[in-house]
Structure 1
Amino acid sequence: MSIANDIRTAFSKRDNALNQLLLLNVLVFIGFILLRTVLFILTKDRNGHLPVLEWLAVPSVPGTLLTRPWTLLTYSFIHFEFLHILFNLLNLYWFGSLVREYLGDRRLVSLYVLGACAGAILYVLAFNLIPAFRDSPAILYGASASVTAVILAAATLLPDYTFSIILIGPVRIKYIAAVVVLLSIAGINGGNPGGEIAHLGGALLGFLFIKQLQAGRDLGRPVQAVGDWVTRLATGRPNLRVTRGGAATAAPAAAAPKKGGLAKPEQDEIDLILDKISRSGYESLSKDEKQKLFRASQR
């Protein structure tokens, strides 16, 4: 099977959001490498790609941003340095796997998108309100704000979950998240203040996203609604409708708590899951069972 077919298959699969986000970042990275190389060969200009970048990156000037609103999302898929994209993708994979396992694909995508928007908004505000940055027009690109949102969401969701780090050993992810935030704060007076400020915007969003979800409010519902609309537009599929008693009605939604929160599983289900853990261990649980166990913990 060709690489093109592999890519097409990855994007056609349902419940494959994490791999799709990773793949999008890689494809854009490769696309800019090819663009820079071709433009350099044709024009001998090493910065020939900058006009394209300026149309996809977030400008710090509000007036320019108003004419390029799409940059609030597109900037979060752009990288130029190998180590930059490598660390972002590794963190997205490690922490995104946790978020996806417990909250599902749709909320992972919502986190990524909202983290990008929060990071961009805080960046623009800082570069227009803080005197140290006010007279320094710049552009913002990279997935770091989105990835930081995912990291803080995972740490807020599962603070005592541990990762084994080389030369250090097991570390609870709440401490990893704390280090990420502290490094971003410390880096504001360094060489990339805009990026560090965007990280903090993503971090705040990730924390609030989980806290609001636990309180019964899903901040990602607008993102999911837009995604559903785009999917219907692209595929031409109408909303699913059923006929009952001779009248066409919208298919009822699955049982869910008020305001888009986390549905609480029945106690009998939880007892069965706990019995399974006692027999076979936590790792024997399915993705759905882990999600039910987490939702039950929010009672």
Structure 2
Amino acid sequence: MTLLEELKYTFNKNNNAVRKIIIVNVAVFLLTALVNVFMFFAGIVGDTMNPALQHFMLPAALGKLLMQPWSIVTYMFLHDGFFHILFNMLWLFWLGNLLHEYIGNQKVFESYFGGGIVGGILFLICYNVFPVFENAISGAYALGASAGVLSIVVATATLLPNYPIQLLLFGTVRLKYIALVTVALDVVSIPQQNPGGHIAHLGGALFGYLYIKYLYHEKYLLPQWLRNMFGKKSNVKIYYRTTYMKTETPYKPSQEEIDLILDKISKSGYDSLSKKEKEQLFKASND
């Protein structure tokens, strides 16, 4: 199997949200890098990013946004530099797969895209409301997967706050502290450099937090329009066979059962779950 065939096979597999997001981000990055190489040899030297790509970045100016409304989605697949995409994809791979185990494939997509969109909206609001950005708004653009990735980071930390993470210099650190430090660094970095990027990150973090609260506990935290964004939930159904007939009975694990399972995971890991507990968690993640 060639590399291209292997990537195609991986992308087409079901239940593979994290890898699909990574593949698209990396493919777009490589494509834009090749375009920049061709532009260099063609003698078109200027900004590090191809000016044509601005049609896919998220502009702060509302007039420009009206001409390219798709950029509220496409901006989260563009990156300016190798380390920009590297750290985003590492975060996404580590914590995205962890989140995937507990809430399922579809909800990982929702967390990523929802975080990216809300991060973009917060970026637009701040640049069009606060006078400090008045002189910069015409040339300000947002790009990068960071808002969507930080949504996944904070969602995972909200769901599993005490999950242990091994850090090279600090040893074992609970996931909630890693998320808190990351968000705090974004807050204090706003006045220093790349304010639009840090603002978008915070929008993504806010979405990740509220999304998990919506799924598992406090649905009233979200306004009605945002609840409707995720649609109605479908009932999970289990089939029981008898000698005489097949009956169909809806089943949904209670919130108390799910909370106990999540507590057990945060203390002892996923492998400590019984087969029945894993089935209950799977049913809840697809509800």
In the other structure, the counterpart of 2:19 is 19
Q: So what's the TM-score if we normalise by structure 1?
A: 0.77
8 Å CA contact 2:11–2:23 kept in 1: the answer is: no
Pick closer, same or farther for the CA change 1:265–1:59 going to 2, 3 Å.
Answer: same
Cα distance in 2 between the residues matched to 1:290 and 1:132: 51
Does 2:132 align with 1:151? no
Pick closer, same or farther for the CA change 1:158–1:221 going to 2, 3 Å.
Answer: farther
Name the aligned partner's letter for residue 145 of structure 2: A
Q: So what's the TM-score if we normalise by structure 2?
A: 0.80
Identity in percent: 42
Alignment of 1:114-263 (within 5 A): 114-137=114-137, 138-215=140-217, 222=229, 253-255=234-236
8 Å CA contact 1:101–1:287 kept in 2: the answer is: no
Note the alpha carbon deviations across 1:214-266, whole angstroms, 9 max, x for none.
137596874689xxxxxxxxxxxxxxxxxxxxxxxxxxx5438xxxxxx7427
Structure 2 residues without counterparts, runs of 5 or longer: 238-250
8 Å CA contact 2:115–2:208 kept in 1: the answer is: yes
SS in structure 1 of the partner of residue 190 of structure 2: helix
Shift of 1:98: 1.7
Does 2:45 align with 1:57? no
SS in structure 2 of the partner of residue 164 of structure 1: strand
Note the alpha carbon deviations across 1:154-195, whole angstroms, 9 max, x for none.
011010101000011110111011001100001100111000
Note the alpha carbon deviations across 1:55-108, whole angstroms, 9 max, x for none.
110000012112211111111111121111111111111111121000001000
In the other structure, the counterpart of 2:246 is none
Does 2:97 align with 1:97? yes
Cα distance in 2 between the residues matched to 1:33 and 1:220: 38
SS in structure 1 of the partner of residue 253 of structure 2: coil
> CA RMSD, aligned part only?
3.2
Shift of 1:133: 1.1
8 Å CA contact 1:119–1:200 kept in 2: the answer is: yes
SS in structure 1 of the partner of residue 207 of structure 2: helix
Note the alpha carbon deviations across 1:122-151, whole angstroms, 9 max, x for none.
001111111111221200000110111011
Structure 1 residues without counterparts, runs of 5 or longer: 226-252, 257-262
Cα distance in 1 between the residues matched to 2:186 and 2:203: 10
Cα distance in 2 between the residues matched to 1:282 and 1:81: 36
Aligned residues: 258
8 Å CA contact 1:111–1:206 kept in 2: the answer is: yes
Pick closer, same or farther for the CA change 1:94–1:184 going to 2, 3 Å.
Answer: same
Cα distance in 1 between the residues matched to 2:71 and 2:275: 34
SS in structure 2 of the partner of residue 189 of structure 1: coil
Cα distance in 1 between the residues matched to 2:179 and 2:166: 14
Structure 1 moving runs of 4+ over 6 Å? none
8 Å CA contact 1:153–1:210 kept in 2: the answer is: yes
Pick closer, same or farther for the CA change 1:31–1:104 going to 2, 3 Å.
Answer: same
8 Å CA contact 2:236–2:283 kept in 1: the answer is: no
Shift of 1:43: 2.9
Pick closer, same or farther for the CA change 1:120–1:89 going to 2, 3 Å.
Answer: same
Cα distance in 1 between the residues matched to 2:164 and 2:101: 15
Pick closer, same or farther for the CA change 1:69–1:101 going to 2, 3 Å.
Answer: same
Name the aligned partner's letter for residue 131 of structure 1: P
In the other structure, the counterpart of 1:77 is 77
Does 2:263 align with 1:283? no
SS in structure 2 of the partner of residue 171 of structure 1: strand
